[in-house]
Structure 1
Amino acid sequence: MNEAGVLENAGTGGAGGRPPGVDPVVRHLYVHVPFCPTICPYCDFHVLTRRAGLVEAYLARLDEEAAELARTYAVDLDTVYVGGGTPSFLRDNEIRALSETVQRHLGWGRAENTLEINPGTVSPARAGLWQALGFDRASVGVQSLDDATLRFLGRQHDAQQARDAVRTLVGTGFRVSGDLITAVPGQPLDADIAGLVELGVGHVSAYTLTIEPGTEFARRGVTVHEDDERAGFERTEEQLGALGFGRYEISNYARPGQGSQHNLAYWQGRTYLGLGPGAAGHYPAPARSGLLTTRRTNPHLHDWLKGEAGETVPIDPTEYVTDALFMGLRLRDGLDLEDLSRRSGLDVAAHYAAVIERNVRRGLLEQDGQQLRATPQGWWVLNRVVTEFLEV
């Protein structure tokens, strides 16, 4: 190690001078479908309702962008995730065109191919079509199994539609993940959790209701109390744990072998392609650029349709490490500091020794050899912990 804390010769391995742990091949793909039947009052994603000709223009530009990505990067996909928006809101011929575009230019995931699904769009025939197109995992936006809660959240489906949708997808052979929103006023959380598990899901994503600036909820002055947020955070883990689901990430629970392989790529700091308007991607940097990776976010739909470039952020070794710490500490198992040092070329344990030691003393982090993880108390204040790494 030299005086700057960089491992000697770390930059001489791998392709084009990258540290040997930075894979020059991209193995994950996110596709953004921005169309929704309505905009939920808590949503701050890039979404819009469809208008005549807009989906057709989107699909044509998607084909062009997929070809550009294939020409630019070495791609060998393990996972594909089609999210939104409401991808299942696309008509049958449209979702077929999307999947054919992806497979023609970029291939298909060997390990996992996920489609985000709104319960109101599911039928046995459509589930069979999605499976025939190559999707094997369904992420269903259930949010609640209580009609009053769903009305408050502005959802267009009711509880019975959600139950029917999950049963149909499980019966078709999908691995199903159900989304829940917690800390909603009056929500019967225990019943929501138990009911969702009874339907046969193998994975649950439980997110606290968050009021983002610019959303309808923000304009209406809706608030979420910290006590309700923490109670939902703790009760979700308690009940899902009793039902056989392990918490493997702050907001995600799974039966053994049912964790999201695609989302693990994000949390483990891997590279991935971003396809579609508003999509974010994490890409290998050009050889000999002095960078490890770049992050790029595509512009919103109308600028994206014109082929305008998105925002690109160069990632050097220090930024790569702090990004990896922020994401990796979300995982129950944390991250391997030795592996992160190999990927980044920075001696992570030495460079951040004081921060790690200080937060271990506080009970916010725990270290077992090279494995660093956040404690349950540390998860609750993770942003504050990561800020200390950023200040080194």
Structure 2
Amino acid sequence: MSSRLLINRSIKSVGFGNSAARRFNSSVSSLKVQSQAAKQALLQGVSQNRSTTLSKKASLRYNSPEGLDQVFPFAYEIIQTRSKSLYLQASELEKQIAQETNANQVQALKQQREALLVEAEINNPEVQYNFQMNQINMEVPVYRHLAKQKWSKYEMIKMIQRFETLHVIPDTLPTINPEVEVNVQFPNFVNKWVENGEILSTKVTSRAPIFKIQEFNEIPQGQKYTILVIDPDTPDIKNNSFSTSLLWGLTDIEVSLNNPLVHFDSRQLIDYVPPVPEKNTPTHRYVVWVFRQNIDSPPIQSNSIEDGVQRNRFDIRAFVKQHNLQPVGGHVWRNAWDRFTEEVRQDYGLPAGRVFSKERNSVRL
């Protein structure tokens, strides 16, 4: 029995509501391998003549390991039986969710239900194949689970490592517990996402970046985000130290699981000003902070910058506290003064940059 037929039968037999049935049916196709040749090879083994996924002649002699073709059908049947049992349990939770009135209890039941749906498909060979081929639908819990697992094993660890070694935390915010993946790309850096901590030319960063915010959990209706791009390495001559500048602020951002790109029509708190480090200053860190806005909080007003928060000497901690923002992700890149910096200043109508001494003098600046 095919896994698609098995899922459909389990839905009908336990009496899912119409909306729930539609959600399950709409996700079934994304759990299947679309290529019939690849699906046949995946579920029935590869013949001794050729592989459906290897095109080079030197690789065409591949065939399934000895004995696997005989054992696999029994293992697959066990997976299907287990999957049906888990779908039955998920359907019971669906009924409880429909009857429950306590918001906290509903949230707990939804988490249990999602865990069951993940477990029901995690060992499905078609799901694993689709994930490896990046043919996924992030609305489906099992793909979100696999994507988060992959992210947390490398990209999340690297992001935290860069934030700690570059002292982004605690220089900007005290700490971070990443929940979303944040990617940054510049129009002058086509088809390449910026690595955390990468040093870029000021020519590359002269145009406003593109952001991608990938959630790994179901996004509540009405959830919005705020993005702040800051420079914590702005020279503060008066105090012989450094201060924080706000380069760009976006608010009321909406993204979806399958469309994580931030649109440029998001409301701006302040216009983008590109990184223009001054000569002989240390390499500047440019930090992107992504926040979840509290659904019950009023929207951040566009004139809040003029009313109390300046681009220069920007107090990010006070701003986050004032607007009840929850930091959920971030990114950092670096810039130093280069031969393009003055050209970028002229393009944006900025004053000429200062030139600092390479050696610290005993007299305060």
TM class, shorter-chain normalised? Answer: under 0.3
Question: Could you say which structure has the greater relative contact order, defined with CA pairs below 8 angstroms and 6 or more residues apart?
Answer: 1
- Find the structure with the greater CA-based Rg: 2
- State the TM-score, normalized to the length of structure 2: 0.23
